[in-house]
A = this chain, B = another copy of it.
Amino acid sequence: MIAKTHDCGRVTKAEVGQTVVLNGWVQRRRDLGGVLFIDLRDRSGIMQIVFNPDFSGEALAIGDRARSEYVLAVKGTVVERDPETFNPNLETGEIEVRVTEIEIMNAAKTPPFPIEDGVEVDESLRLKYRYLDLRRPEMQQTLRLRSKAAKVFRDFLDGEGFLEVETPILTKSTPEGARDYLVPSRVHPEEFFALPQSPQIFKQLLMVGGLERYYQIARCFRDEDLRADRQPEFTQVDIETSFLSQDQVLELMERLVGELMARTVGVTIEAPLQRITYADAIHKYGSDKPDLRFGLELRDITDLVAGSDVKVFANVAGSGGVIKALNAKGCATWSRKELDDLQPFAARYGGKGLAWVTVKEGEWRGPIVKFFKPEEIAALTERLEVEEGDLLLFSADKLKVVADVLGNLRLKVGKQLGLIDESAFKFAWVVDFPLLGWDEEAKRYVAEHHPFARPHDDDLHLFDSDPGQIRAQAYDLVLNGYEVGGGSMRIYRREVQEKMFAALGFTPEEAHAQFGFLLDAFEYGTPPHGGIAFGFDRLVMLLSGRTNLRETIAFPKTQSASDLMVDAPSQVEAAQLEQLHVRTVPKPQTKQQAGGPAPAAQTSVKDGV
């Protein structure tokens, strides 16, 4: 083999006149009157190589045998092209290499799809031939960005004194075991390891162990019905610190995010990042992961319409619900069909209906307008900043429902009106999450983030009076409407932990049964600590402008959790199972049986997104 001297895409005019050796794949070949042109591709880009009887000699005949995706080594001279043959689409478009020697390093069958971006190919075919799909420039760019992002995380955290520590993949099933992947073992019959849903317990134990600053880019696992943006195995940047306050953690993470954006996509992020309380996020944007690239805020009008003749408003206001409105600026022109479609849209998010008003020629129109008193119209006009051409959308229900309906409507309208700057990266912290949520079925409080999430010092007294109002020192990082990170400060004092368990309805014995050795560990001098986990796959997706997590992962699973390339999962030899002391249970006949009992609502014990 001739030893490679240059990458195809990195040869420049400075090399004109030099002899180079390139290695790469045949992207394209053209024969123009006995002269052979090949676009030779490697991961750096493309170089046009030319075979001409004048200077190529025997190499021409060999080159002529090359077809798409053949692997070539060529030696030749870099020359400037004729200006009229410049190719402005190529970085190397003003030069070419005149081939004098060639070796066909390997042949190739015709690939099942063209190795090019922007070609419509069924995704399952791409996934089956992932090793060919990976040759596309777009995939290579994404993997390069992913590698770079990991490097930036590591450089920054290492510079700040964080130690990278690997935590076990073969570990123990947790209280949220319903989503655990289990692993039988030859050595221990009838016992199972579990794959971690996150390294949460281990990172807290590392703080007990005095490491002070830990990070890991960690693989995590969740065996669940897959949504479009989930993978059974996913990657998170997992971080934990001791002796810092929440403000110090957020400030450190802001610098990290700043570094990440600058070094991966060249975008400067202004610090400090916007911080918005959970309560404000829900009230203004109807979401705890608001897309802040545009305004279009929801407005609460409960006080204005509590005594309204619009019965549903009065009823909802009277029974502790809220009424909120979204002013879709300039949308009074929506067709009747568009307005009618709002009802199923609202229903999808649990809404029982959606009232609307259009403002046309100075007049309010719509089914509920006749019930408004003039002073209500005046007050609404002021609160909602109503102008000619606006479309007002009203939702009345429990806060959660109203937020879901109008929050999603806000996104829809924002998109429709073109309010979203697709090139912007708008980060914010959502802080002050509630510590506890009320589980209507179980009739008890459950931890919103984590049974070890630390309450606000100012709210500790509420354990005795109104636990639902306690704010946690928990925070999410949102980017363009996606949650890209989440974490909390942890409880480290025994008396607070006891109050927390009591609020969750656990006796000390129950708490110990569930959290065992972790509570033991906390008895031996636990420092104040807290951390965060970033969803690495999703971050890479957003930074690379992709819309699908699978495009950010070299070898992803499908939505039904299969690897189409290696054909996994798959059946195994009976002897293998015998050694593992397990037996399969024949596939049930109906889907209902297959599901088994639905997993109960779980107490989450981890950071993450």
Residues of A at the B interface (CB closer than 8 Å) are: 1, 3-4, 23, 25, 41-43, 69-71, 105-109, 111, 129-135, 140, 143-144, 146-147, 150-151, 154, 158, 163-173, 177-178, 180-195, 201-202, 205-206, 208-212, 219, 221, 223-226, 232-233, 235, 242-243, 245, 248, 492-494, 516-517, 521, 523-528, 553-555, 557, 560-563, 565-573, 575-588, 594-597
Cα A581 to Cα B182 in complex, Å, equals 12
Q: Which residues of the other chain, B, contact A581 by a CB distance below 8 angstroms?
A: 584-585, 587
Q: Are B4 and A243 in contact (CB under 8 A)?
A: yes
Cα A243 to Cα B584 in complex, Å, equals 45
Contact of A106 among B146, B183, B211, B493 (CB under 8 A): B493
Q: Which residues of the other chain, B, contact A554 by a CB distance below 8 angstroms?
A: 165-167, 202, 206, 209
Q: Are B188 and A164 in contact (CB under 8 A)?
A: no
Q: Are B521 and A131 in contact (CB under 8 A)?
A: yes
Measured CB to CB, the closest approach of chain B to A527, in angstroms, equals 5
Q: Are A571 and B190 in contact (CB under 8 A)?
A: yes
Measured CB to CB, the closest approach of chain B to A323, in angstroms, equals 42
Best-buried of A195, A524, A586 by chain B (most CB within 10 Å): A524
Q: Are B525 and A69 in contact (CB under 8 A)?
A: yes
Best-buried of A69, A232, A233, A579 by chain B (most CB within 10 Å): A579
Q: Are A43 and B210 in contact (CB under 8 A)?
A: yes
Cα A188 to Cα B131 in complex, Å, equals 25
Q: Which residues of the other chain, B, contact A42 by a CB distance below 8 angstroms?
A: 210, 212
Q: Are B580 and A583 in contact (CB under 8 A)?
A: no
Q: Are A573 and B177 in contact (CB under 8 A)?
A: yes
Q: Are B579 and A582 in contact (CB under 8 A)?
A: no
4 closest Cβ contacts across the A-B interface? A134-B209, A108-B525, A191-B569, A172-B568
Measured CB to CB, the closest approach of chain B to A188, in angstroms, equals 5
Contact of A168 among B209, B210, B233 (CB under 8 A): B233
Q: Are A571 and B168 in contact (CB under 8 A)?
A: no
In the complex, the chain B residue whose C-beta lies closest to that of A235 is B166
Known: A42-B210, A578-B597. 9 other contacts (CB 8 A): A170-B232, A170-B557, A172-B567, A186-B596, A189-B585, A190-B586, A191-B569, A192-B570, A193-B569
Cα A523 to Cα B69 in complex, Å, equals 10
Q: Are B192 and A106 in contact (CB under 8 A)?
A: no
27 A–B contacts from the bound complex (CB under 8 Å): A23-B242, A25-B527, A71-B525, A109-B524, A111-B524, A131-B206, A131-B524, A147-B158, A150-B164, A151-B154, A154-B154, A166-B553, A168-B557, A170-B221, A170-B568, A170-B569, A171-B568, A178-B576, A181-B183, A181-B193, A187-B561, A188-B562, A189-B587, A206-B554, A516-B567, A581-B585, A582-B585
Best-buried of A202, A211, A566 by chain B (most CB within 10 Å): A566
Cα A350 to Cα B521 in complex, Å, equals 48
Q: Are A578 and B594 in contact (CB under 8 A)?
A: no
Q: Are A583 and B586 in contact (CB under 8 A)?
A: no
Cα A517 to Cα B566 in complex, Å, equals 7
Q: Are B493 and A571 in contact (CB under 8 A)?
A: no
Q: Which residues of the other chain, B, contact A172 by a CB distance below 8 angstroms?
A: 563, 566-570
Cα A31 to Cα B69 in complex, Å, equals 79
Contact of A158 among B1, B130, B151 (CB under 8 A): B151
Q: Which residues of the other chain, B, contact A597 by a CB distance below 8 angstroms?
A: 575, 578-579
